[in-house]
Each structure stands twice: as structure tokens, then as C-alpha cells.
Chains A and B, each alone.
Chain A
Amino acid sequence: MNWQLIFDQARNDFIFVFPEAMLVFFGLAILLTDFLLTKAQKSWNAYTALVGVLFSAASLFLIRTPAHDVATAFDGAIVIDPFFIFFGLIFLTAAAAVVLLSIGYMDAVEEQRGEYYALILFATAAMMLLACGNDLAVLFLALETMSISFYVLTGFLVRRRNSNEAALKYMLIGAFSSGVLAYGFSILYGLSGSTNLVKIELHIADRATQFAHADALSFLALATVAAGVFFKVAAVPFHQWAPDVYEGAPTTITAYISVASKAAAFALLLRLFLTVYWPVRLDWIAIFAMAAVLSMTLGTFAALTQTNIKRLLAYSSIAQVGYMLLGLVASVDKDGALNQRGLRATAFYLFAYAFFNLGAFAVVVALQKRGMIGDSIDDLRGLGRGCPVAAVLMLLFLLSLAGVPPTAGFVAKLLIFSALIGTGHPILALVGVAYIVPAVYYYFRVVATMWSGDGTEAHATPVIPAAQQFALGVLAVVTLVAGVFPEQFLRLANYGLQVASLR
């Protein structure tokens, strides 16, 4: 046995997991150094985490691949392609923003502890693996690592009952959904005798030519995998956990779950459905179209009556998933060919959503004060006078969520509708635009509340730490710039989700 060769191979492969390794390394470093810090110094952990994210981003930059280029490692279990770079960028940006937001927030809720930041890094590492995994085993492990980190983070406010309740609920439902997903994976393995996605695809394609559509077994695999992923992205009818978890979790973690965990689950979904299930695309676009319409319907109408801003944003993010799924529906042409416009729309939507949805939560985070809950819509009363900048930023993020120009959300929706009309789905496009109107209604309930009152309310004059100000500023600038000059962001979306590298 040539040990030298094996060692060289491993060393070569290891370069490709450097972004994840950096995150894990710094996460462990936080756990170790946490003992040395006094209570007042605990927020230093956040800076360690930030450095970790920066190192990870730097190594991501170093292994970036040109468009149409793919590198594989660990015997094909991991692929480094633009898809991975694109999603890595989303995860790392979101992680950095969440860490910046958390410093002030964890002080305010008096839970400033090192494990929190370490878990954020572990979750981020898992998401990155999820985006580059090309093997069922890697994907499943990554998904579980991410989920478990989030279960713990959700329950991190140990002294609050609804935080504990949310964590338990999240874990039970999450475990169930992972089980469903694992069942689907096992069928895939049974069908093909391999865990490698490329090999599985060949078998599915083979069976699809025999049966014209997916046969019963492949369809069962497809349906169970779709159900498992829909749980993770919180698409109807697998959304029930979202409002409770969003409400109970620390707001920073809510933001992270709603953005990064959703993007990660979408990465898994895209990877699976654009490769493994590509031969049976006509089956899954019907499922996706249905889930999209249901998500938009339920998310929109349930959001109308919410009084808690986190629950409202939870339902709104369910509706947002509907639009992203519509983008996927529009990535298949009438004649079954792949439509790059639809893919680009989905990618742009995911990217922009990461910024403006995080931004909306960031404002809620910034309002948090010591010893107060402050997440009902009424708590925003008077913000328009007390802190006009925060109110205007919230307005910007809400407009973007609703899809009103000149914001990133508008361009995202424009792309989705354009792709839908281009692929012959005018009815879905009509449903999509129709739900903008009630969406504006519930977002503007928040706006109207912010500009009522006289500015002397408890939450109306938040003291926003510099780190949070910085994060809010970056999120707002990207939301606005991607709405007014989207060209560069479109190029990024094009780069990230191009067909050639996936297929």
C-alpha cells in the first residue's frame, strides 16, 4: 500500500474543505478560550467568530472556480463549483451579520455565552457542506449537523419558556422530517446501489426512459425527499413549526433560521432536483407549483392577523418560499428544456432575500432592550419619531419583502414573474402578483404602527450598538443597490446557478 499517495491525495482534498474547516476550527477555539474570559469579556467570542467567518470567506475566495468549472474531492463526495461558491457567500454574509447583531442582543437578554457563537459557526460549516456535498451521506450528515445546532440555538434563552418550547417543538418535528428524508435517501440508494448523486441520476434517468414518468419507486423517493426538504424550507403543508420556532427563538437566531437555514435547504433542494431528479422534472414541477401556491396563500392570509412581529415575519417568509419555488417551476421550459432565466430568478431571489429578510429581523433585534420582550407589533409604535433611521430602514426592508420598487425585492419578483410568463405559466404569475396586495396590507400595518405614537414609548428610542448599526447599514445598502443597479448581482446569480456546472 502506497501511504505516500494516499496522504498526498488527502492533503489535496483537504484544501477543498478549508472554508468549513476554518469555521469548525474557530468554533472549537471559542469553546476553549471561553473559559478564560470574564463575564464582561464574553462578547470577545463574537469577534473570534467574526475572524473565523473572515478566514472562511478568504479560503472560499481562494478555491473559487471560474464559471463552468467543477472540481471534485474525496472521491466525488464533494464538488467545488460556482453553485457552492454562491451559496457559501450567502451563508457567510448571513453569519457575519448575525454575529454582529448578536453582540448587543445577547447582552440585552443576558445570555452572552461562548457556545452560542461556536454553534453559529458549526451551523454555518454544516450549511457550507450541504451546498458542496454530492453524496447522500455527506448531505444527510451536513443537514443533521445544521439542524442540531439550530435546535440548541433555538432554546438558548433558557429562562424563557417559549424559547424552550420552541426548541422542543423544532427538534421533534425536525427529527421527524429528517426521518422522512432519510427514508427517501434509502430508496435512492436501493434503486442505484450508490450514494453518489451522479450515479443515482443515471439510474433514475434509466428508469424514467422505461416508464416515461417516474415509476412508483422513484416517485416515492422523490415525494419523501421533497417532503423532507419542504419541512426545512417551511413550505406548506410542512410549515407548522415555523411560526412557533420563529417566535420562541432568540431573534438573531430567528433571523438566521429564516435566511441561512432556508437558503441551505434550498441548496439541497436545487442540488437534488436539478441533478438526481432532473430526468423526471415534469413530475416535480407540478408538486412545486402546488406547494408554491399553497405557501403563498397560507402564508399571506395567516400573516394578515398576526400581532407579533416575529410571527408575522414567519408567515411572510412562508409566503416568500412560495415565490422562490415559483422560480424553480419557471426553470423548466414548456418543452422540458432547462430555462436559465428561472434559475437565475431563484438564485437572485435567494440572495436578495437573505439581505432584506435579515434586515427586517435586524431592526427587531436592534429594538431589544434589557428586561423587555419587545417583539409585538405594538412595540414598534413611535419608532418613526423616536428613531426615524431605524423606522426608515424597516420601511425599506418591508417594501423589499413586498416587492415594491426601487428595492431588491422588486427586482427579484420581476425576475420570477418574467420567467414564469416566458415559460408559459401566466396563471401562476397572476397568483403571484395577486398576493402582493394583501402582503402590502400586512407589511404596512407595521409601517402604520411605526409612524403612530409620539416617540416616547419604551421601545421607540433604541440605543443601537455600533456593530448592529454596521450590520443594518450593509443590509440596507445591498437591499437598495440591488434594487436600483442589479446588474452585478444578476451576474452573480447567473454565475451561481448555471446549468453547465450542475449537470
Chain B
Amino acid sequence: MQPSGSHILNVVLFTPLVGALVILLIPRARAEIQRLVANAFGVLGVVVALPLIWRYRAGADAPRFQFVSDHSWIPLLGVRYTLGIDGLSLVLVLLTTVLGAVAMLSSWNAIREREKEFYMAMLVLQTGMLGVFLSLDFVLFYVFWEAMLVPMYFLIGLWGSERRISAAIKFFLYTLAGSVVMLLGILAVYHSRGTFDMRTILDAPFGADTLRAQKWLFWGFFVAFAVKVPMFPFHTWLPDAHTEAPTAASVLLAGVLLKMGTYGFMRISVPMFPNAANAYRGAMVVLSLIAIVYGALVCLMQKDMKRLIAYSSVSHMGLCTLGIFALTPLGLSGSVLQQLNHGLATGGLFLLAGILYERRHTRLISEFGGLATPMPNFAAIYMIVTLSSLGLPLLGGFVGEFTVLRGAFEARWQWAAWGLVGVILSAAYLLWLYQRVMLGEITNPANETLRDLSAREFATLVPLVALSFWIGVYPTPIFRAIDQPVHKIVEAVNPGYYSVAAGPVAPVPASAAAKAR
């Protein structure tokens, strides 16, 4: 095969890495220059990704993967360097670049030691995360998937709070345990199909005659993705890692890393092993529902603000996997929306918790109260982010949750009902958190003189809030971008779906198509 295609994805992928190399060359003593350069590359990462938005062609007749960059890498092993995106990865890539820039900016004051290492780790991590979403070759995908763990280990282990070392190694080992099993899955796919190219397998997924093999493969990949999402009962690494990590790492963990799991399900597990996905649909949904309800209940018990937000991720990501394994178009598109929104809202919550931590050096909810008086702007933004997270109409969360639940309802109403319980509980714990932290009298004198948001802190939060409003009011462009990939996934896993939907007897899917338009 000839090398082909455009270079834009290479630019998107390697811009952060170049930034890391530039920082490497800056002398250790010039911390302020390192900070500036890191932020410049964070913003540059967003800028170089912007052309993807208008150059991406949505629509049923557009090619499935676009901007493909395909080069020979290790011919003896049949491994190629293949990048390319469809609507799903487009959304996640943009989310990654935005959150990466925001996380970088949020560290301006918070990180004041070993800044060189910190910003290098952040930028390398950024390349690793982007690589996962961009790769269309299994081995390349795996390389990024694993290589990314190392900078994250250091971000948690070096700049985290008290129990950082154990949290970091726990994070590393849990994710690694999942991904090494996935490596075997990848090799098994290679030995049965003779290629590492995801596109080939997506075009011709494993057939019904290979159900036995599919089941094995499904579980092999499931472990890796389920740890990452994290699905119940693989979630135990998450509260520790999210709580101990520095703000920037928490934002990226919740905002991007968790999405790698759901992305894996949407890119690999469901469309490549459709029969197994159908066979285990019920089990997956039950695990998702447990995560939704259990995560929410645990949130109600938390005393530590970051821990509460961490458990809320378990619950919200459960909604994402519920949408995926409903195996309906609405469920899948809702899941993407919910992922996007979870990235923005939970990222925002972690940023806000980080801002409080910078001022008070505690995360205990009981230490706060009545903060709305000294910090009105902070309280306002906190309110918006909270409302977005719990799914108030006009904000991003609503669109995602509503669409997921409709998709689940279409499959089986009980699933939607249990999902709804989670949504209600999330309103309860998030509003209760808001009430305890923001409202009422100031009970702790230390809170009386807290500074309100600085301009830099505004700059980190405003993009997230603005995007959240945009998704809430006008999600159509996103639905349009993910329409075709979702269509393809459903076609693979549920071949009769669209032909039935075209008839007059099935109004629900028809309205799905209308909505997507």
C-alpha cells in the first residue's frame, strides 16, 4: 500500500509531543517560560484540531474514516501506522484538546515544583490520549493505550496529595491488568483475520459462525475497557486515583481517560464482535445499571468533595455504557453526547474543587459552607456546572441523559426506569453538595475572606460552561457528525434494524432518524 492521505491528524497528534520536547530544552530555572510554552502548546493543540470541524464530511455517503494517514511501520509483523477519524473519534479528539488546554491552564498556580517534569508529562499524556482516539491499527492503538499510563502515573504519583504513591500504582496496575488481556485479544484477532487494521474488521465483522471465538474476544477486550470506564465491579481504582491526583490530572482522568473505555466499546467490542455483543447485552446493561445506582448511592455518603465527584463519574459513565449496550441508535448517540457532557461537566467540577483546594487546602465538604457570599462568581459557575451534570434542560447533560434513556426505553422500559433512578439520585447528591458548600451561613471563619475567581480561573471555566450551553441548546451538529458511525455500528450489531425502521410500524426509530437530522 502506498502512503496516503492528509497530514492533519499527524499534526494534531504530535503537536503536544513537540511541545514536550521544547520544554525539555528550556533550562530548569526558567519555570515561567516553561509554563508559558506549555500553555501555548495547549492552545495550539486546540487550534490545529479546529480544521477537523469544518473539513469533516458528515452524511451517509461520506467515507467512514477521514483524514486517513496510512504508512508502513513494521512490515514484518504486518503492523501499520494508520490514523483516521470518524464522527465518534472526532468528538472525543476535540474534547481531549479542549480539556488538555484547560487542564494546563488550571495548573498555573497549583503546580509550583518540578514544573518542567509536570508540563512534559501533561503534554506527553495529551499525545497518548489523542493517539488512542486516532489509531486505526490495533498495535498502534495498544501502544498509545499503554504508553499513556506512564505520564499519568507520574502526574498522580508526584504531584498528588497524601496517598498519591499508592493511588498511582493502583491506577497503573488496574489499567495494565486490563490492557494486557486486551493485548492477547488483539493477537487473537490478528491470528484469525490476518490483519491489525481496524477498518478491515469493521467492514467485515466476525460472523455468526464464529460466536465461540467472538465470546472469548469480547471478554478479552471487555476487561480492558471495563476497567477504564470503569464499570462495576472494576471501579475501585477510580476514587483513589481521582481523589489523590492533582486537579489537572483529575480533569483529564475524568474527562478523557474514562472515555477511552467507552470509545473501545463503540469502536471494537460492539461493531467487531456483534454476535457476542448481542449475547452479553443483558449482562452489560445490568452492570451499567448497578454502576448508575450504586455510584449514585455511594455519592450520598461521601465527605470528601473530590471523592464525591469521582463516584459521580462511576454513575454517569454507567449511563454511557447503558446507552451503548442498549444497541439502539438513540442509545449510542445519546451515549456519545453523555460522554461529551460528562467530560465537560465533571471536568468543570474537578476544576472548581481544585480552585477551592488551592484556597483552603482541604477537600472536606464539612469545612465549607456559605461560600456564595465571599465568592459569588464561583458560586454561579458552580451552579451551572452542577445543573449541567445533573441534566437540566438547556444544558448539555439533559440532551445526553434524555437520549440515552430514550434509547434504553426503546430496548426495554425497565432499563430506562432504573437509569432514571440514577438521574434522580444524581440531582439529589449534586444539589445537596451545592447546598452544603455554597449556601447558608458561613460557619467556618476561614471561609470569610476567600478570593473569588481570578481572570485565569474564569478562562479555564468559561469554555466548559459555554460548550455545555451550546450542546444543551443546539446539539444538532454533533448528532449529525455521529449519525453515520452510529448507523454503521447498529447495522453491524443489529442488521435488521433499519429495514424494519423504514416501515410504518416502528415509529420510534423513525423519529430517531428525524432527531439525528
Would B184 and A417 count as touching, CB distance under 8 A?
yes
A384 to B153, CA, bound (A): 14
Per-residue 0/1 for B363-386: is the Cβ within 8 Å of any A Cβ (1 yes, 0 no)?
Answer: 000000000000000000000000
A494 to B154, CA, bound (A): 37
Would A426 and B184 count as touching, CB distance under 8 A?
yes
Q: Does any Cβ of A come within 8 Å of B77's Cβ?
A: yes
Which residues of chain A from 417 to 449 have a CB within 8 Å of any chain B CB? 417-418, 421-422, 426, 429-430, 433-434, 436-437, 440-441, 444, 448
Name the B residues within 8 Å of A429 (CB-CB): 184, 187
Name the B residues within 8 Å of A441 (CB-CB): 169, 173
A421-B188, A490-B77 are known contacts. Are A448 and B169 too (CB-CB below 8 A)?
yes
Would A494 and B157 count as touching, CB distance under 8 A?
no
Would A404 and B184 count as touching, CB distance under 8 A?
no
Task: Identify A421's interface contact among B147, B153, B187, CB under 8 A.
Answer: B187
Would A417 and B74 count as touching, CB distance under 8 A?
no
Task: Identify A417's interface contact among B146, B147, B172, B183, CB under 8 A.
Answer: B183
A404-B146, A421-B191, A490-B76 are known contacts. Are A430 and B184 too (CB-CB below 8 A)?
yes
Would B173 and A451 count as touching, CB distance under 8 A?
no
Closest beta carbon of chain A to B203's beta carbon, Å: 23
Name the A residues within 8 Å of B153 (CB-CB): 444
A228 to B228, CA, bound (A): 46
Interface size in chain B (residues, C-beta < 8 A): 33
Which residues of chain A from 377 to 424 have a CB within 8 Å of any chain B CB? 385, 388, 395, 399, 404-406, 410, 414-415, 417-418, 421-422
Q: Does any Cβ of A come within 8 Å of B150's Cβ?
A: yes
Would A487 and B180 count as touching, CB distance under 8 A?
no
Would A486 and B169 count as touching, CB distance under 8 A?
no
Would B157 and A451 count as touching, CB distance under 8 A?
yes
Name the A residues within 8 Å of B188 (CB-CB): 421, 426
Name the A residues within 8 Å of B149 (CB-CB): 404
Would A434 and B180 count as touching, CB distance under 8 A?
yes
Closest beta carbon of chain B to A274's beta carbon, Å: 21
Per-residue 0/1 for B127-163: is the Cβ within 8 Å of any A Cβ (1 yes, 0 no)?
Answer: 0000000000001001100110110011001100000
Would A440 and B150 count as touching, CB distance under 8 A?
no
Nearest neighbor of B216 in chain A, beta-carbon distance: A426
A399-B150, A441-B173 are known contacts. Are A414 and B183 too (CB-CB below 8 A)?
yes
Q: Does any Cβ of B come within 8 Å of A334's Cβ?
A: no
Name the A residues within 8 Å of B169 (CB-CB): 441, 444, 448
Would A437 and B180 count as touching, CB distance under 8 A?
yes
Would B180 and A433 count as touching, CB distance under 8 A?
yes
Name the A residues within 8 Å of B187 (CB-CB): 414, 417-418, 421, 429
Would B77 and A405 count as touching, CB distance under 8 A?
no
Nearest neighbor of A420 in chain B, beta-carbon distance: B187
Name the A residues within 8 Å of B142 (CB-CB): 405
A460 to B74, CA, bound (A): 39
Total A-B residue pairs with C-beta atoms closer than 8 Å? 80
Would B157 and A448 count as touching, CB distance under 8 A?
yes
Name the A residues within 8 Å of B77 (CB-CB): 414-415, 418, 486, 490
Would A451 and B158 count as touching, CB distance under 8 A?
yes
Would B184 and A490 count as touching, CB distance under 8 A?
no
A interface, size bucket = 20 to 34
Would B184 and A433 count as touching, CB distance under 8 A?
yes
Q: Does any Cβ of A come within 8 Å of B510's Cβ?
A: no
Name the B residues within 8 Å of A160 (CB-CB): none
Would B190 and A418 count as touching, CB distance under 8 A?
yes
A197 to B14, CA, bound (A): 54
Per-residue 0/1 for B176-219: is the Cβ within 8 Å of any A Cβ (1 yes, 0 no)?
Answer: 11001101100110110000000000000000000000000000
Q: Does any Cβ of B come within 8 Å of A68's Cβ?
A: no
Would B176 and A437 count as touching, CB distance under 8 A?
yes
Name the B residues within 8 Å of A404 (CB-CB): 146-147, 149-150, 176
Q: Does any Cβ of A come within 8 Å of B395's Cβ?
A: no
Q: Does any Cβ of A come within 8 Å of B75's Cβ?
A: yes
Nearest neighbor of B76 in chain A, beta-carbon distance: A490
Closest beta carbon of chain A to B155's beta carbon, Å: 12
Q: Does any Cβ of A come within 8 Å of B290's Cβ?
A: no
A452 to B160, CA, bound (A): 13
Nearest neighbor of A452 in chain B, beta-carbon distance: B165
Q: Does any Cβ of B come within 8 Å of A491's Cβ?
A: yes
A404 to B151, CA, bound (A): 12
A313 to B181, CA, bound (A): 25
A404-B146, A429-B184 are known contacts. Are A440 and B176 too (CB-CB below 8 A)?
yes
Would B74 and A448 count as touching, CB distance under 8 A?
no
Which residues of chain A from 434 to 474 have a CB within 8 Å of any chain B CB? 434, 436-437, 440-441, 444, 448, 451-452
Task: Identify B74's interface contact among A421, A434, A490, CB under 8 A.
Answer: A490
Would B183 and A448 count as touching, CB distance under 8 A?
no
A406 to B127, CA, bound (A): 13
Q: Which of B77, B169, B173, B177 has the most CB of A within 10 A?
A: B77
Nearest neighbor of B181 in chain A, beta-carbon distance: A433
Closest beta carbon of chain A to B154's beta carbon, Å: 7
Closest beta carbon of chain A to B143's beta carbon, Å: 4
A296 to B342, CA, bound (A): 42
Would B173 and A440 count as touching, CB distance under 8 A?
yes
Name the B residues within 8 Å of A451 (CB-CB): 154, 157-158
Per-residue 0/1 for A289-300: is the Cβ within 8 Å of any B Cβ (1 yes, 0 no)?
Answer: 000000000000
Would B165 and A421 count as touching, CB distance under 8 A?
no
Task: Identify B172's interface contact among A422, A440, A485, A487, CB under 8 A.
Answer: A440
Name the B residues within 8 Å of A422 (CB-CB): 191
Task: Identify A487's interface contact among B75, B154, B173, CB under 8 A.
Answer: B75
Name the A residues within 8 Å of B180 (CB-CB): 433-434, 436-437
A485 to B81, CA, bound (A): 11
Would A487 and B183 count as touching, CB distance under 8 A?
no
A418 to B158, CA, bound (A): 35
Which residues of chain B from 333 to 383 have a CB within 8 Å of any chain A CB? none
Would B76 and A494 count as touching, CB distance under 8 A?
yes
Q: A434-B180, A436-B176, A440-B173 are in contact. List 15 more A-B contacts (CB 8 A).
A: A388-B117, A406-B147, A410-B146, A414-B77, A418-B77, A418-B190, A421-B191, A429-B184, A433-B183, A440-B176, A451-B157, A485-B74, A487-B74, A490-B74, A490-B76
| Among all A-B residue pairs, the 3 with the closest Cβ atoms | A433-B180, A405-B143, A490-B76
* A-B CB contact pairs (8 Å), 22 listed: A385-B114, A388-B117, A399-B150, A404-B146, A406-B143, A418-B77, A421-B188, A421-B191, A429-B187, A430-B184, A433-B181, A433-B183, A437-B177, A437-B180, A441-B169, A444-B153, A448-B169, A486-B77, A487-B73, A487-B74, A487-B76, A491-B76
